Structure 1
Amino acid sequence: MDHLKQSCYELSLPVTEKSNLISRDIDRAHSKQMVQILKRCDAEIFEKKINHEPFYQTLYSVPVIQTMVDVAKRVEMILRDQEESLIVLSGCGTSGRIAFLLVSSFNEMLKAQRQKQICSYIIAGGDRALLTSREAPEDDPGLGARMLEKVCAGKKDVLFIGISCGMSAPFVAGQLDFCLNHLDIFTPVLLGFNPVHMARSEQMQDCSFHFKDVAERMAAEQRHKKAYVLNPVLGAEAISGSSRMKGGSATKIILETVLLAGHEAAFRDKTMTPEYVFNLQLRFNLI
């Protein structure tokens, strides 16, 4: 009966917040078993279909790959015309730290090739949040918008990638809303791991909109290729709600693929196709 109640309760939860049947007994497992359980949960990232969620897009679904191609083409365009252009990655907590790591490594690669370093990162709470938890700024959409505006001052072409694994962070929602209001300058990308209809619908502080509103507007603009939503479903986390696990891994895989594909197209004349991006993903995943 308790299991039935739990199942009924979980029907209303976003995928990123559900419990995973694979890891339901992880609290009773010994260390070797825990590693095997975590390995099986991580393997779901790369499955073509999630067993109990067969209708959701996955990492290798055609629409997801095509969106990665479209975003990589925007990276290529910015790298070919770097004057007054910028690529910005932003997130809260672990997502912001991954943004920092990706920007640092990508800029180092550009520097080694004597190219302009055109990537910036934003993390809610500023650089102190790279090492310590600072949760209050994560809930402030206005702060997110102001920080983005400051970083992009004077730029005329900005690719903005907002990372929110659960499609829920107010800080990122504020930034995406700012981009949507300035599509003459910004191409916004939302990276998360829930379907759009599961994005957070609670009101945010000092805001007339919620994250779901922003996600739906992003999806609408994607039809005109003015904004993009990258949201493959990875299955539930090994530890319920810990989106820094599968979500963190998939964030790194997706963004490394997109940035490298754009770079190779710009400087090595690689042809940007879904097949090329798919093979690049395979190279990162070592499968």
Structure 2
Amino acid sequence: MTFTKTTEQSSKYEHLEKMSVSELLANINNEDKTVPLAVEKALPQIEPLVSEIVAKMKLGGRLFYIGAGTSGRLGILDASECPPTYGVPAELVNGIIAGGDKAIRKAVENAEDDANQAWIDLQEHNINQNDVVVGIAASGTTPYVIGGLKMCNANNIATGSISCNAGSPLSQTAKFPIEVIVGPEFVTGSSRMKAGTAQKLVLNMISTSAMIQLGKVKGNKMVDMQLSNSKLVDRGVKMIMAEIPVSYEKASELLEKYGSVRKAVDHFEK
């Protein structure tokens, strides 16, 4: 298959600087509308990766995202939201970005070009065969990500990928590749736009589906969420009231005593 970087091809819109704000917004929105449809086409690729992640986590494994720039930041975002949403340990889902934590806010020059660094970064977490490593790169060509997955493959660690070009070197490296083909960006080459949105949608699917499969949701509620602010405490109280016949005050007492919606409901039902 001939590899073409559609993410780098010229925008189908010309003279953006001559557009009004209204025209800019409408055209960006029109492009954004195509992204969920592109993700839909990738569902058959996403399913086996999620199944592999769930199977490995049931063996005590963890999930790692590795990426550079926008892709790395999106992985960190998804990983960082799993503990408060589902009450899981912080080390269960991990985001690693080329250039280290300082690259979360500011670009680190040439960090993505080091094909050896990702494996070094993963080894700091004692990566092992129960873990799954997902490489994220819109282009599908980032050396940091590809190098990391190659070393994981060599060490019998399951690998997945999320990219936005068909037949990329990254897809050819990953055991469970996902390709969401979103086409040229509104601003040529600005892959933080449609490609970034596609990656975010896929990451939402991966972590949410995995957590539900692992029993972290009851009905449609986040019963294991961390009660880190008053809004979430109020939500937790109302969840308890929806599950068992108690007043707001009693539900508040149960939540404060047991620390989670699940534990409060389970104790009451025993």
TM-score in same-fold range (> 0.5): yes
Aligned residue identity for 1:125:
G
Aligned in 2, Cα 1:240/1:12: closer, same or farther, shift over 3 Å?
farther
Aligned residue identity for 1:155:
N
Distance in 1 of aligned mates of 2:31 and 2:149? 31
Matched, 1:170 2:143: yes
Aligned in 2, Cα 1:116/1:25: closer, same or farther, shift over 3 Å?
closer
Matched, 1:74 2:52: yes
Q: Tell me which moved more, 23-32 or 168-177.
A: 23-32
Matched, 1:160 2:165: no
RMSD: 2.2
Equivalent residue in structure 2 for 1:134, among 105, 108, 130: 108
Aligned residue identity for 1:46:
P
Aligned residue identity for 2:117:
L
CA contact (8 A) 1:103 1:120 kept: yes
Distance in 2 of aligned mates of 1:126 and 1:142? 14
Structure 2 length-normalised TM = 0.74
The C-alpha deviation readout for 1:74-93, integer Å capped at 9, x for no partner, is: 232234332xx211011101
Distance in 2 of aligned mates of 1:44 and 1:24? 19
The C-alpha deviation readout for 1:19-59, integer Å capped at 9, x for no partner, is: 222x2232210111111111111112134xxxxxxxxxx32
Tell me what 1:65 maps to. 43
Aligned residue identity for 1:77:
A
Aligned in 2, Cα 1:267/1:79: closer, same or farther, shift over 3 Å?
farther
Distance in 1 of aligned mates of 2:163 and 2:19? 30
Tell me what 1:190 maps to. 161
Report how many aligned residue pairs link the two structures: 217
Distance in 1 of aligned mates of 2:127 and 2:22? 54
CA contact (8 A) 2:140 2:163 kept: yes
Give, in angstroms, the shift of residue 117 of structure 1. Answer: 4.3
CA contact (8 A) 1:86 1:155 kept: no
Tell me what 1:222 maps to. none
CA contact (8 A) 2:164 2:195 kept: yes
Secondary structure in 2 aligned to 1:141?
A: coil
Aligned in 2, Cα 1:74/1:168: closer, same or farther, shift over 3 Å?
same
Q: Which runs of 4+ in 1 moved over 4 A?
A: 114-117
Structure 1 length-normalised TM = 0.70
Unmatched 5+ residue regions in structure 2?
219-270
Tell me what 1:278 maps to. none
- Matches for 1:11-160 after TM superposition, within 5 Å: 13-21=4-12, 23-47=13-37, 58-61=38-41, 64-82=42-60, 85-111=61-87, 117-151=91-125, 153=126, 155-160=128-133
Aligned in 2, Cα 1:154/1:124: closer, same or farther, shift over 3 Å?
closer
Look at both structures and tell me which one has the larger radius of gyration over its CA atoms. Answer: 2
Give, in angstroms, the shift of residue 143 of structure 1. Answer: 1.2
Matched, 1:261 2:193: no
Distance in 1 of aligned mates of 2:3 and 2:70? 25
Aligned in 2, Cα 1:78/1:180: closer, same or farther, shift over 3 Å?
closer
Give, in angstroms, the shift of residue 168 of structure 1. Answer: 1.5
